[in-house]
Amino acid sequence: MAMSGGVDSSVAAALLLDAGHTVTGVTLRLWGGETDSGCCSVSDVEDARRVAAQLGISHYVFNLADTFMESVVDPYVAAHSVGNTPNPCVECNRSIKFGVLFERAVTMGFSALATGHHARVSQSPNGEWQLLRGVDDAKDQSYVLYMLDQTHLARTLLPVGEMTKAEVRSEATRLGLRTATKPESMDVCFVRREDRGDFLAARAPARPGVVQEIDGTVVARHEALAGFTVGQRKGLGVAQGEPRYVIAVDGPSATVTIGTQVDLLTPTLALRDMTFVAEAAPSRSEELSVQTRAHGSLGRGRIEMGELGSAEVLLCQPLARVASGQVVALYRGDELVGGGIVA
């Protein structure tokens, strides 16, 4: 049981015990930098340890800080330095939780890896594993698990996916768990939102450049490309009558292009590194739900596969552009079909 020190994984461990499983708790030590907030902090490790003791299960701490730096933090900095906007939580799930930890669980002889994510694992009548949205729409985390495949899902348990967040807290209170009222972290674990600029500036060249209108007219200069992302409205350094948004960030030239809200809309999304939960990609004729952020409204569209894992999502109605490096997940109702990264 991957125990983050939060209420979800605490209750998940208790539910597994109630279901008759033999449970071992593991907390990952991932970040020892100057920012020790969010999940995996020193206090979180202690909370997980004490919950495990209360439940009467073994608890271990795996130090994966070097792997985390190499697989999550360094790529995060590199992506921002060329104008991309990565999702470090997705990369942590891919490389750490369902990468290193999953492989270690298999090697050590455990039958399954469990986490506190709000999502559900199911099996269709034909025996195919499915990843479904969590029951609580407001807390659903299937989007950040889009990379899971049949091998992962066959050995993955997500005990709180059938519960609302309120029900999770109620159960934690009933059990007297110390994490029952613990607030959720809204920051990336290795950098607070307000510190992102300084964090990136200390680790990558600033790369100054220009801010231009969609017709190429230069309207301002900027000091650091990493400070911009598609869809951004504030901090553009321009004063125009109609609100302006970042509609493109060009890495090689460090150029930021701005436009109106209409310019921000696009009829297609180009994706790379596509993965699918099932073995095959969906048919081009099938209309799917398109999710471009962890939470927010959904679009509708069809997928057209290209070469080498690339794809184009043809939208039924234009959506706001999504920053390169972000994830687009595709759903069939509550079932996550797959997804990719914006090219």
Q: What are the phi and psi torsion angles at 223 (to 5°)?
A: -100, -20
Q: What CATH number labels 205-259? A: 2.30.30.280
Of the residues 39, 40, 89, 92, which is catalytic? 92
Confidence of residue 193 (pLDDT cuts 50, 70, 90): confident
Span 50-103, pLDDT tens digits: 999 999 999 999 999 999 999 999 999 999 988 899 999 999 999 999 999 999
Separation between Cα atoms, residue 301 and residue 96, nearest integer Å: 31
Confidence (pLDDT) at 300: 98
Domain locations along the chain: 7-117+158-175, 205-259
Q: Confirm whether 7-117+158-175 and 205-259 share one CATH topology.
A: no
Could you give the C-alpha distances from 81 to 99, 169, 230, 233, 336, in angstroms and in order? 26, 40, 14, 19, 31
**For the domain 7-117+158-175, what is the CATH superfamily, name and number?**
HUPs (3.40.50.620)
Of the residues 40, 89, 189, 316, which is catalytic? 189
The answer to whether 189 is a known catalytic residue is yes
pTM metric for this prediction: 0.92
289: buried, middle or exposed (CB in 10 Å: 19+, 13-18, 0-12)?
middle
Confidence of residue 330 (pLDDT cuts 50, 70, 90): very high
Separation between Cα atoms, residue 148 and residue 129, nearest integer Å: 10
Confidence of residue 39 (pLDDT cuts 50, 70, 90): low
The answer to whether 92 is a known catalytic residue is yes
Span 104-147, pLDDT tens digits: 999 999 999 999 999 999 999 999 999 999 999 999 999 999 99
Helices 7-18, 42-55: inter-axial angle, 10-degree rounding: 20
